[in-house]
Structures are given as structure tokens and as C-alpha cells.
Amino acid sequence: MLIHGHLVKGNDIDQETRCLHYHSEIDRIAIKFYCCDTYYPCFSCHEESGCNSAQVWPKDQFHQKAVLCGSCGHELTIDEYLSCKSVCSRCHKAFNPGCNLHKHLYFDV
């Protein structure tokens, strides 16, 4: 599905990147996976896509844009995302702070 001009793959995605697995009001990011250079709303959607080589973003790549705000389409660098306190720096919409519990699935932290 195209969301703000970016292809986001996953299971039952809405226009703000919510998916079958995470669909509360504040679930509005997609993460570009390092292994396949593709945005997914969550790790489970990525696994279901069949990519069998999941890799986390290495620390020396945290300057790369890899997090998409589903509300406004702003792409955050990994450094920006990890320090944004669960709020988009452009539109100020809240992100799910619970995603911090899963950041090790996406980033080398």
C-alpha cells in the first residue's frame, strides 16, 4: 500500500500504517527493514512477508531515514526516532511508546 508516497507492506494496513497486529490510535509508524529495504508496520508483518533474513540496523547506519510517520509521511532517521520521545518531529502526533520495548528487533541497541 502507498502511504504518503512510500510503499508499506504488511497485513491489513490502514492509511496511517496501523496493521492487523498493532492498531491502536497511536500505532502510526512503519519501519524500513535493513535486510530488505522495505517499510513494514511491525516485525510480525515482516516475518509474514517471507523475508527469512531479518537483520537489525547497525549503529553506524543510524543516520539513515528508516522510520515513517503514518500521520504526515515524514521520514525520521533512526537517531531522530530513538530520541523523539514518541512524538513526530514534524506533525507532533504521538507514536506508541510501547514500541520502545521492541526496538531491539529493528535496531542494534
Cell readout for 7 is: 510503499
Q: Which pLDDT tens digit goes with each residue over 60-92? A: 999 999 999 999 999 999 999 999 999 999 999
pTM: 0.96
Q: Give the integer Cα–Cα distance in Å for 97 and 37.
A: 24
Q: How many residues does the chain have?
A: 109
Calculate what percentage of the chain has a pLDDT beyond 70. Answer: 100
Q: What is the pLDDT of residue 51?
A: 84
Mean of pLDDT values over 89-103: 96
Task: Look at residue 99 in the predicted model and tell me its pLDDT.
Answer: 94
At 98, the pLDDT band (50, 70, 90 cuts) reads very high
Nearest-10 Cα torsion for 70, 72, 78, 84: -100
